[in-house]
Amino acid sequence: MLGNVKATLKLALLVLWIVLWLAPLAIAYKLKKLSLRDRIMMVSCAGMLKIIGVRVKVTGISSPIRPLLVVSNHISYLDVVILNSKTPMHFTPKIEIASWPIIKTISRMSGSIFVDRRPEKLGEGKSDVLTALSEGSMVCVFPEATTGNGLHMVPFKSGFFSLASETINDQPVTIQPVAVTYSTIRRLPIDTTQWPFIAWYGDMELMPHLWNILKVAPIEAELVFLEPVTIEQYENRKKLAAHCQKVIDESIQSIRSRHRHTHVKPAKFHPRFLRVKN
């Protein structure tokens, strides 16, 4: 009962916080004050994490190199909030989100680039990303193209890595891998029965999932900015994608290993691990 009361208060405060920041965001967007808009998004996202109860530890730094394309693993909608709370980024949500009420408006005002992931349309999305990079924006893509169940990463798709072959103002597009790791719930390592509270995948609905997050918090997450790379260091985009997935996975496993308590018995797998979002 107490958990439901706390979650209700958090949800009400979260909605109020978002509403309060919508007007300044809309004004900055309308006046094309892009640096102000990005600052507003950072402060807004940091506040949302505070309300939800997500603490974020950051390792490494966001590269100052431009043009810069960030690639990250993808577990939950919280990934976007965590990333945007630390450094201004533009994201590439799937085109279907452009039809979601409210979220589509916030996404457009924050500079998101909606991408149609059908093979015949992906070229248009890459062109839009390249335009944003040429304007000095940092763009983040999730090469898994979906959210995973928290246990294992979905294999990276190499489509957007072809942008690493492009140059802007005689400078090559640099890729920076970034690892997002959720390590603890209520100060204890996350076990296999708890991942469905964090990971958003399969047929999970947004509001019930968010409600569960509000109930189980506090949650500890770690954000690791890894070494930037260019395609010159690799033979092709597929090997570049494989490298980025490898270093991100190694970072995640290292953090989980550090938090894992050896005395905790392995838990049974939650049935939701049988369903992964396509």
Average pLDDT, the chain: 90
Determine contact, residues 213/246, Cβ cutoff 8 Å: no
Supply φ then ψ for residue 76, to 5 degrees. -155, 165
pTM of the predicted protein model? 0.90
Kindly state the average pLDDT of the residues 64-73.
Answer: 96
Using CA atoms, how far apart are residues 151 and 149, in angstroms rounded to an integer? 6
The 10 Å CB-count burial string (b at 16+, else e) for 85-106 is: bbbbbbbbbeeeeeeeeeebeb
Confidence of residue 1 (pLDDT cuts 50, 70, 90): low
Mean pLDDT of 33-49: 96
Q: How confident is the model at residue 235 (pLDDT cuts 50, 70, 90)?
A: confident
β-partners of residue 139 are: 69, 90
pLDDT band at 274, cuts 50/70/90? Answer: very low
Per-residue model confidence (pLDDT) at position 263: 37
User: What is the reported pLDDT for 266?
Assistant: 46
- Give the residue with greater pLDDT, 142 vs 262: 142
Please state the rounded mean pLDDT for residues 247-272: 72
Residue whose C-alpha is closest to residue 71's, from 209, 194, 222, 178: 178
Per-residue model confidence (pLDDT) at position 61 = 96
Ramachandran quadrant class, 111 (left: phi over 0; alpha: psi -120 to 50; beta: rest): left
pLDDT, tens digit (0-9, with 9 covering 90-100), for 205-214 = 999 999 999 9
User: Are 149 and 272 spatial neighbours (Cβ–Cβ below 8 Å)?
Assistant: yes
End-to-end CA distance of the chain: 35
For residue 145, pLDDT beyond 90? no
Beta bridge pairs of residue 222? 57, 181
In the chain, the domains with their CATH numbers are 53-274 (3.40.1130)
- Give the closest residue to 110 by CA, choosing from 180, 45, 61, 206: 45
Say which range, 8-22, 92-106, 127-141, 223-237, has the weakest mean pLDDT.
Answer: 92-106
Determine the distance from the C-alpha atom of residue 101 to the mean position of all C-alpha atoms in its chain, rounded to a whole number.
20
The string of pLDDT tens digits covering residues 88-140 is 999 999 888 888 888 888 999 999 999 988 878 888 889 999 999 999 999 99
Q: How many residues does this entry show for the chain? A: 278
CA 272 – CA 278 distance, rounded (Å): 14
